[in-house]
Amino acid sequence: MIVKTTVRFLYTCKQAFNKNNKLGGNQVWIVGACFGAGLAAYSTVIKHAEMASLSIDKNNFMAEPITDSAILKANPSDMKTKMELMIMKIQKDFCKALEAEEDPETKFVVDRWLREEGGGGITCVLQDGRIIEKAGVNISVVSGNLPAGAIQQMKSRGREFVGSGPLPFFAAGVSSVIHPRNPMAPTIHFNYRYFEVTDSSGKKHWWFGGGTDLTPYYLNQEDAKHFHSTLKAACDKHDKSYYPRFKKWCDDYFKITHRGESRGIGGIFFDDLDTPSEEKVFSFVKGCAESVVPSYVPLLRAHKDDPYGYHEREWQLIRRGRYVEFNLIYDRGTKFGLYTPGARYESILMSLPLAAKWYYMHIPKEGSKEAEMMEVLKNPREWVAEGKSR
Of 297, 354, 374, 389, the residue at the interface with a second copy (CB under 8 A) is: 354
Q: Does 258 bind a second copy (CB under 8 A)?
A: yes
Total residues in contact with a second copy, by rule CB under 8 A: 39
Q: Does 127 bind a second copy (CB under 8 A)?
A: yes
Please answer whether residues 318 and 235 qualify as being in contact, where contact means their C-beta atoms are separated by less than 8 angstroms.
Answer: no
Please answer whether residues 2 and 50 qualify as being in contact, where contact means their C-beta atoms are separated by less than 8 angstroms.
Answer: no
Q: Which is nearer to a second copy, 32 or 65 (CB)?
A: 32
Least distance (Å) from a second copy to the CB of residue 85? Answer: 26
Least distance (Å) from a second copy to the CB of residue 266? Answer: 22
What gap in Å lies between CA 373 and CA 360, rounded to an integer?
Answer: 19
Least distance (Å) from a second copy to the CB of residue 62? Answer: 16
Least distance (Å) from a second copy to the CB of residue 353? Answer: 7
Q: Does 363 bind a second copy (CB under 8 A)?
A: yes
Q: Does 98 bind a second copy (CB under 8 A)?
A: no
Of 1, 51, 356, 374, the residue at the interface with a second copy (CB under 8 A) is: 356
Q: Which is nearer to a second copy, 69 or 127 (CB)?
A: 127
Q: Does 324 bind a second copy (CB under 8 A)?
A: yes
> Residue 281: helix, strand or coil by DSSP?
helix
Of 259, 313, 332, 369, the residue at the interface with a second copy (CB under 8 A) is: 259
Q: Which is nearer to a second copy, 196 or 261 (CB)?
A: 261
Q: Does 12 bind a second copy (CB under 8 A)?
A: yes
Q: Which of residues 133-192 bind a second copy (CB under 8 A)?
A: 134, 136
User: Which of the residues are catalytic?
Assistant: 189
Q: Which is nearer to a second copy, 302 or 355 (CB)?
A: 355
Measured from the Cβ of residue 7, the count of other Cβ atoms closer than 10 Å reads 7
Residues in contact with 383: Cβ distance below 8 Å, sequence separation at least 6, in sequence order: 224, 225, 227, 228, 229, 265
Least distance (Å) from a second copy to the CB of residue 28? Answer: 17
Site string for a second copy, 328-347 (x = CB under 8 A): xx-----x--xx-x-x-xx-
How far is the CA of 217 from the CAs of 148, 249, 258, in angstroms?
40, 22, 20
What gap in Å lies between CA 154 and CA 169, rounded to an integer?
Answer: 12
**DSSP track, 283-320:** HHHHHHHHTHHHHHHHHHHHHTT----HHHHHHHHHHH
Least distance (Å) from a second copy to the CB of residue 212? Answer: 22
Q: Could you tell me which stretch among 142-150, 245-253, 285-293, 325-333 binds a second copy (CB under 8 A)? A: 325-333
Q: Does 325 bind a second copy (CB under 8 A)?
A: yes
Q: Which of residues 238-257 bind a second copy (CB under 8 A)?
A: 257
Pairing mode of beta strands 261-262, 255-256: antiparallel
Q: Does 11 bind a second copy (CB under 8 A)?
A: yes
**DSSP track, 100-131:** TTS-TT---EEEEEE-TTSEEEEEEEEES-SS
What gap in Å lies between CA 155 and CA 321, rounded to an integer?
Answer: 34
In 3D space, the residue among 389, 328, 336 whose CA is nearest the CA of residue 358 turns out to be 328
Overall size of the chain counted in residues = 390
What gap in Å lies between CA 318 and CA 175, rounded to an integer?
Answer: 24
Q: Does 360 bind a second copy (CB under 8 A)?
A: yes
- CA diameter of the chain: 63
Least distance (Å) from a second copy to the CB of residue 359? Answer: 6
Tell me, rounded to whole angstroms, the distance of Cα 343 from its chain centroid: 18
Which residues sit at the interface with a second copy, rule CB under 8 A?
Answer: 8-9, 11-12, 41, 125, 127, 134, 136, 257-259, 317, 321, 324-325, 328-329, 335, 338-339, 341, 343, 345-346, 348-350, 352-361, 363
